[in-house]
Amino acid sequence: MTRVNFYSLRLVKEDGGLYDVPELNCPQAVHKAAREILLLHEKPEEHFCIICLNAKNRIAGVHTIAIGCLNSAIVHLWEVYKAAVLNNANSIILLHNHPSGDINPSQEDIKTTKRLVEAGEIMGINVLDHLIIGDDGYMSFREGGLMGARWAGRSC
């Protein structure tokens, strides 16, 4: 006889609060949410986070996936999509900060985003955008043409 163990997966809420965050339908709204909820512009090391959205683009959950050093954070595909699946996400938005304040994406940022978009297509979880947060602003991969079509038909 072989012993077989049964497991269940659960999402455990660590914290929460009330925020004045509208529907996330454009990069400006995502940037506002990132500043208010995640405080990415204040972090001294690189943080890679995702915002999980329901079918109405309302926040279903927020996850810090990786905390790195001054100029990098190691991001694994399985960690991103584990969080998205546990949140029953219809779509996700990727975010990370550049503590240097420079919002231009590195080649590694571009490569990682491409891999995450491809994995999302396979899993049926749409990656709406990837924002890099700097001291005073942000860079949207969608608006910058690095992820295909822009936020078409959406207004902020």
Indicate the pLDDT class of residue 22, thresholds 50, 70 and 90: low
Give tens-digit pLDDT for 48-104.
999 999 998 889 999 999 988 888 888 999 999 999 999 999 999 999 999 998 999
In which band, very low, low, confident or very high, does the pLDDT at 153 lie, cut at 50, 70 and 90? very low
| The domain over range 27-90+99-125+135-140 is classified in CATH as 3.40.140.10 | yes
pTM metric for this prediction: 0.86
Average predicted confidence (pLDDT) for the chain:
86
| pLDDT reported for residue 36 | 83
Edge-to-edge order in the sheet of strand 91-97: 59-67, 47-53, 91-97, 126-133, 138-140
- CA-nearest of 119, 138, 139 to 127 is 119
